[in-house]
Structure 1
């Protein structure tokens, strides 16, 4: 029995090789893997000696040889194949352990294109694909996490066809993900990220109980390692819908850096937000915006949840709480609430990967775009187009309202007063209807909008939204501008003494 070992990730390879030797395998190996094995007194045959063909071109060619691929690919049940293998002295390579050059790690570390090119593996994917193709006779491994199980199965005669089929699928996933990463990188480097093909490749983190509804299967995946390393479940089981809501909540809260804000989400839209001096004050003020919708919602806290804050949160039913840290005292208190789910995300503050591209599924395909974001000085550099100018505190409220509005389904408007959201209208077919809906909800909640500011993620097509804002005492407005009726809108703002700012950038969210 012959095993071929050639790995870039050398973790666990020494112990695995020892296990194979104890099972009676002879080992073929190459380059760095061979060196590690020899340094650990593990007997292995150099592939170059076996093939009688030296490594060439600084290692670009070393396993591309009939004695390697023939040993992997020949059909054991085919008499002619067996004769041919014997004729040319081709070993029966029944186990292949290969993982690939670290292309992904290289592009994250350097822009040196020469180094990047040299970290595109050729022989590795060829061996993996060959072994996977011949899975009926060959066991293929691409992940060190599988070494222990493989040794156990070999020791107990459990190297079944079903198991080899499972490993074959893993192998093709490995090479597919590798090729997708290379193709997407090259398109990013040479085609601004939009090539003839675009590939979406993720690693399974875990299945969810179901999808959006119980009759739908579901699971969640990650592009890098954010959810497997940075996102942790402390209590409960995360659902498909929890994940999408957590994503919305953390995106909003983390966009305010290290400031102690709290965001409350219901069905992917914010129903509460505040940025006060303390987290407990932020939570109390955020809840006031719409305590009815907050029931059963998702709360993102941009800081440590201590016992005092936990006691406040515990006063109503919150389905999901996510924060960078939750103290042991707070955890003990939450244990008394059976249905609350607790997650930590980030270090000292909430974090999110901030992908550079965004896509949405459409039937038969998907649409792809650069990810949207509000630049650091977008509000600061907004142009005052009215006679009245906003005060410093109003500018702070405008920044909060504008940032939150960029994460709210269009058409939307967001009202903020004293660093807390006091009304929100979202997902409406008419912007003035969004304004009216927000005002009506605020009135139902008993909130005083006088003196608040207003943000819209897109321009006001008519002055009617300004008129509605004036009725409830809005003092300042921020919007992109760009309507053919901008002059009419500005004139209306001047009539009512409202400070009006244009940013010049729209933030639709559909």
Structure 2
């Protein structure tokens, strides 16, 4: 009779799994809480200390670290010397190991008590997982309850092949690697400001993309904390690598204003349209005015529900992607004839953001890592007025929008906003003056009047020339971080032009 060792923290479906294994002529060995649950459910099982011939000790710290356990898992069935030694030592084979680990993540989320956290670091569990994975040639290793039925079917149907066990082995090492990475990252965050000698970035695969940025590159989507699995729904089409990066940029901007009816249009990672209105149809119409040429084939993020009326308007031009809080059934019917359009939603009334705590970027030979940037409402609310002229409430709203959009747009950038809609944007320039000029030139081409608008820059203006150019275009309010050695010159220029100038004291470069 084969033997299975069951020792799990996640006990979902473990009773049913154990019963099915017994039906397949497996003998069950179990530990602690798992044994207790099986016993209460009437499942016949052997408690671990009957196998180890040694009591569980040190408040459960040591129970499976024993040669009768690891010898039973690790000895090779294809080597007679191993079989002979196992017989000599009285070690019986363990053919299936079902283990998942102490809930370290749940513990650090609920408490800061270091003693409790330490006690929720699993030792015996990872050791058994790694032992079974190492000997996958003979042993089935299970770490995920969702694989129970898969394993039962393989055993029952004679499909328990070495290739099948190899796949489970890979999953097992991923499981322990992710677990140890989580502990190391937590300890570095607690004691080394999150910047330890090693930095581990672990994601779970959601799907393959058709390819990467280009057809000759492989690509895939990986997630933190099941964010996409729980929130992101594909309604139509297939998200490409580039779609996903554009969606990320668009939703961050559209959702930066809470529950307001905001729409952001993005092309190649940069906003080419943004507006807030009382309703989303008006917001889309205003956002589109900023740069309808660039919006062609773009990504539209809707912080709300796409209705039939909005869908009909969107259908008037080619859009590649629409991502929204939700897209209702009538809107889906409107979009159906658009073969190339891709539709995604979060299944909620508004866009859902993960608000990741970390940020990183690949560079040649490695990656740079940092705390994620945050643009807070207080930065605008508490911005320092440095000129004689004061912006009214409407102008400050425009300044807030311009400032947040600028903070989420590639440097160097400037953003012009009028009546809660972006009317001009210049981004990704090597010169801030060029960014301002490019934005105004594009606005002129679109026939947009920027007079009376608010201008934001994500970093300080080093010279007064940008202020002079803005004044020439009729800008009345400017918001920027400040901090230049020529701040007084810039302030004086704003006063000369009768502009209101605010310093936030916070820089938001995005590279």
The match for 2:114 is 113
Distance (whole Å) between structure 2 residues aligned to residue 361 and residue 101 of structure 1 = 32
1:215 partner SS: coil
The match for 1:305 is 306
> Shift of residue 110 of structure 1?
2.1
The match for 2:86 is 85
Distance (whole Å) between structure 1 residues aligned to residue 497 and residue 399 of structure 2 = 18
Q: Alpha-carbon deviations, 1:132-161, whole Å to 9, x = none? A: 111111111111111111111111111111
> Shift of residue 346 of structure 1?
5.5
The match for 2:292 is 291
Are 1:415 and 2:412 counterparts?
Answer: no
Are 1:191 and 2:179 counterparts?
Answer: no
Distance (whole Å) between structure 1 residues aligned to residue 347 and residue 495 of structure 2 = 45
> Shift of residue 35 of structure 1?
1.3
Distance (whole Å) between structure 2 residues aligned to residue 430 and residue 321 of structure 1 = 32
The match for 1:318 is 319
The match for 1:158 is 159
Distance (whole Å) between structure 1 residues aligned to residue 106 and residue 341 of structure 2 = 38
Structure 2, unaligned runs of 5 or more: none
Are 1:242 and 2:243 counterparts?
Answer: yes
Q: Alpha-carbon deviations, 1:9-51, whole Å to 9, x = none? A: 1112122112211111111110111112112211110011121
> Shift of residue 89 of structure 1?
1.4
Residue range with higher mean Cα deviation, 367-376 or 470-479: 367-376
1:172 partner SS: helix
Are 1:7 and 2:8 counterparts?
Answer: yes
The match for 2:124 is 123
The match for 1:424 is 425
Distance (whole Å) between structure 1 residues aligned to residue 332 and residue 347 of structure 2 = 17
Distance (whole Å) between structure 1 residues aligned to residue 59 and residue 324 of structure 2 = 49
Distance (whole Å) between structure 2 residues aligned to residue 75 and residue 431 of structure 1 = 67
Aligned-CA RMSD value: 0.9
Say how many residue pairs are matched: 510
Contact 2:104-2:120 within 8 A present in 1 as well: yes
Distance (whole Å) between structure 1 residues aligned to residue 484 and residue 17 of structure 2 = 67
Structure 1, unaligned runs of 5 or more: none
> Shift of residue 476 of structure 1?
0.7
The match for 1:172 is 173
Distance (whole Å) between structure 2 residues aligned to residue 348 and residue 52 of structure 1 = 58
The match for 2:351 is 350
> Shift of residue 166 of structure 1?
0.9
The match for 1:496 is 497
> Shift of residue 375 of structure 1?
2.0
TM-score, structure 2 length as denominator? 0.98
> Shift of residue 114 of structure 1?
2.1
1:414 partner SS: strand
Distance (whole Å) between structure 2 residues aligned to residue 404 and residue 345 of structure 1 = 22
1:454 partner SS: strand
Q: Alpha-carbon deviations, 1:222-242, whole Å to 9, x = none? A: 110110011111111111111
2:416 partner SS: strand
The match for 2:484 is 483
Distance (whole Å) between structure 2 residues aligned to residue 24 and residue 168 of structure 1 = 23
Q: Alpha-carbon deviations, 1:184-204, whole Å to 9, x = none? A: 111111111111111000100
Distance (whole Å) between structure 1 residues aligned to residue 350 and residue 56 of structure 2 = 50
Q: Alpha-carbon deviations, 1:413-438, whole Å to 9, x = none? A: 00000000000000000000000100
Distance (whole Å) between structure 2 residues aligned to residue 110 and residue 447 of structure 1 = 54
Distance (whole Å) between structure 2 residues aligned to residue 109 and residue 278 of structure 1 = 40
Q: Alpha-carbon deviations, 1:88-122, whole Å to 9, x = none? A: 21111111111111111221222222222111111
The match for 2:35 is 34
Distance (whole Å) between structure 1 residues aligned to residue 487 and residue 41 of structure 2 = 75
Distance (whole Å) between structure 1 residues aligned to residue 52 and residue 437 of structure 2 = 78
Residue range with higher mean Cα deviation, 369-378 or 232-241: 369-378
Distance (whole Å) between structure 1 residues aligned to residue 335 and residue 313 of structure 2 = 11
Distance (whole Å) between structure 1 residues aligned to residue 184 and residue 68 of structure 2 = 30
Distance (whole Å) between structure 1 residues aligned to residue 30 and residue 75 of structure 2 = 20
Contact 2:96-2:141 within 8 A present in 1 as well: yes
Contact 2:233-2:347 within 8 A present in 1 as well: no
Distance (whole Å) between structure 1 residues aligned to residue 53 and residue 121 of structure 2 = 25
Distance (whole Å) between structure 1 residues aligned to residue 335 and residue 119 of structure 2 = 52
TM-score, structure 1 length as denominator? 0.99
